[in-house]
Structures are given as structure tokens and as C-alpha cells.
Amino acid sequence: MQKHCSLAFCHCNKLLSAQEVLPFAPTPSGSNAGLIMETSTYKKRVEPKRLPDGAPNILIILMDDVGPATPSTYGGEINTPTLDRVSKMGVSYNRFHSTAMCSPTRASLLTGRNHTNVGNGQIAAIANDFDGFSGIIPKSSATVAEVLKNYGYNTSAFGKWHNTPEEQITNKGPFEYWPTGYGFEYFYGFLAGEASQYEPTMTRNTNQVTLHHDKNKPYHLTEDIAEDAIKWLREQKAYAPDKPFFMYWAPGASHGPHQVMKEWADKYKGKFDDGWDAYRERVFKNAKAKGWIPQNAQLTPRPESMASWESIPESENHSSALQRWSNYR
């Protein structure tokens, strides 16, 4: 599979004649400096336009541990009306490559390469010195943010990063492996694999942020990065209206620790009390009805290593069982 992808990439390069080396060489000056001003000529250089007219804005939303069986858009039972609206505007895919872990998924998504080819064979928290497991995306593998920035996009990242080894995420760096070192002109989020949704350790670019909560308004990390992203978009529109933007928005709410506002949790009180076995059967039926999966698809059996809902003893803490369920889904 790796060989196939590599050949396809080379073939595409030949067809598209893409820029082979980034960044682009500096544009030569149009001026000529003489010995004195009177013998000098001045002509302001014109930077070549790298993008076609109408180049699209790009928004990637990456959510941990949320499969298609979660949102109502694809048959799940969590109400997602905004995703419904967005899905009707484009194309949804029901088959995709998954690395099943945080850092590998991010590294593959950002570079378009196999996760072990870019040093992320496992999560960055347990990076080591084996080839393919260093936790560092090599500078020889450009991220999509680096490419787009060089072509003229404004780039930003919000939320969870998790692509830098943990010993390198202190305020002493090194910073070349932080988001701003990988083509993101702006970053606001957390560098590790998870964070408290109420009291997170946040970073803006390369500086730790001290949060000042409004005592009259409950704080939640998702709302914080959403508001900051909106602010960045407004400023981008005001200061660089001719530039398209690339935004990578990755909330941590669906990843542990699972901390949801009571007003949201209460909306689903009792809805999932019949457990994961019944839920997966309902969602499978819903997904077929929506055309999300083929009508002849078969529901895979529950792995023997996963306990059935009925086998959970009554004495077990209910929240603990639901935690296991969230991990299973």
C-alpha cells in the first residue's frame, strides 16, 4: 500500500508540475541601485500570484473518539443539526483510512503520509528512538499548513495538537516542532494529548496562557477555542481579505476526560440506559435507513473481549459503565 501511494504521488507531480521545493525563491528586485540616488532606478517588485482566483477557504474539524455512530447525521442518537446542514452541502465518505490513535491520525492527516513514515507510529506521549516512533514529524515531510502558507494562505490551528514529544512541550521548547514550526501562523490550544475542559493548560503560539474566567459565565474549553477561532476569522477578513484561510480546529471534548456541561448532559438523561448492545443495533438500522451504509451490510459481532451490557453487575458504578461505553463507541 505504501508503494502504491508513493507511485501515485510521483505520477501526480508529473501531471501537475507542482512546485518541487518550498518555500519559493525570493522575488528579484525590480530596482537598480547606482552609486547615488540620481543614478538609481526604483521599481517596486511584484510578488507573483501563486493561487487561482476564488481559491477556497479550508476548514478541517478533527474530533477524537467520535465515530459515525455518534451524530444523528449518520444514524447516531446525538443531535447534530449543524452537521446535518453541512453534510447536505457536500459529500460524505463512509470508508476512510484510520490509524485508531491520536498522534498517528493527526500526523497522517497533516502530511498525507503513512504515520510511521512521519515519526508517529504511536502517540507522542510515549515517543521513543525507534525509527517511525520518534513523535516528531520530520522537516522533510511538509504539512498541508506549510504548503498552503507558502502559496498564500493564512493558516491557524486551534485545540488539541498532540504531535510533539512531551519532553519538548515546556515553555523552553524547542519550538520548531510546535504548530507554529509546522506552517501554522497562529495557534491557540493545548499541546498534550488531553486537557481539563474546565481548567486546561493553554498555549497561544509559543506562550503559556493564564486563563481569567468570568465568574458569571461557566468556562468550557470548546467554547473558548470556538470564540478564539471566530475572532481570528474576523481579523483575517479585515486585515487580509484577499487571502484565503486554512483552519485546523480540533476540540478535546470527546476525548477523556469526559467533562460535559450539566445542561447538555441533561438533554440525554436516560436515553442510553439500555446500554451499548441495544444502541449499536438501533444505530446500524438508522444508518441503513439513511443510506449511509449498504443495505446488505452485516452488523459485526461484539468482540468476546468486550463485556455485554447485560453482564455488567448492578453493583458497578453506572458512570463507570458509561465511561467504558464511550470508549467502546
pLDDT tens track for 164-215: 999 999 999 999 999 999 999 999 999 999 999 999 999 999 999 988 888 7
Residue type (1 letter), 182: Y
More confident residue, 11 or 243: 243
Q: Hey, which CATH number is domain 58-267, 3.90.1150.10, 3.30.70.2340, 3.40.720.10, 3.90.480.20?
A: 3.40.720.10
Report the pLDDT value the prediction gives residue 12, as an integer from 0 to 100: 39
Integer Cα distance of 286 and 278 in angstroms? 12
Percent of the chain with pLDDT over 70: 90
Is the pLDDT at 317 greater than 60? The verdict is no
Residue 120, strand partner residues: none
Cβ proximity of 184 and 199 under 8 Å? no
What does the pLDDT average to over 216-231?
A: 94
Exposed/middle/buried for residue 265 (C-beta within 10 Å: 0-12, 13-18, 19+): exposed
What does the pLDDT average to over 285-293?
A: 95
Report the pLDDT value the prediction gives residue 258, as an integer from 0 to 100: 87
Residue type (1 letter), 95: R
With a CB cutoff of 8 Å and minimum separation 6, the contacts of 328 are: 276, 306
- Cα 271 to Cα 78, 99, 100, 253, distances in angstroms: 10, 30, 27, 20
pTM: predicted TM-score of the whole model, two decimal places: 0.87
Residue boundaries of the structural domains of the chain: 58-267, 271-328
Q: What is the pLDDT of residues 59-80, one digit of tens each?
A: 999 998 888 899 999 999 999 9
With a CB cutoff of 8 Å and minimum separation 6, the contacts of 255 are: 64, 65, 102, 160, 193, 194
Report the pLDDT value the prediction gives residue 237, as an integer from 0 to 100: 97
Is the pLDDT at 324 greater than 80? The verdict is no
What does the pLDDT average to over 262-281?
A: 91
Report the pLDDT value the prediction gives residue 62, as an integer from 0 to 100: 94
Report the pLDDT value the prediction gives residue 218, as an integer from 0 to 100: 87
- Name the pLDDT band for 312 (thresholds 50, 70, 90): confident
- Name the pLDDT band for 15 (thresholds 50, 70, 90): very low
Is the pLDDT at 321 greater than 60? The verdict is no
Angle, helices 144-151/102-111, rounded to nearest 10 degrees? 30
Q: Which of 50-54, 104-108, 259-263, 290-294 has the lowest mean pLDDT?
A: 259-263
Question: How many C-beta atoms surround the C-beta of residue 110 within 10 A?
Answer: 26
Integer Cα distance of 179 and 43 in angstroms? 37
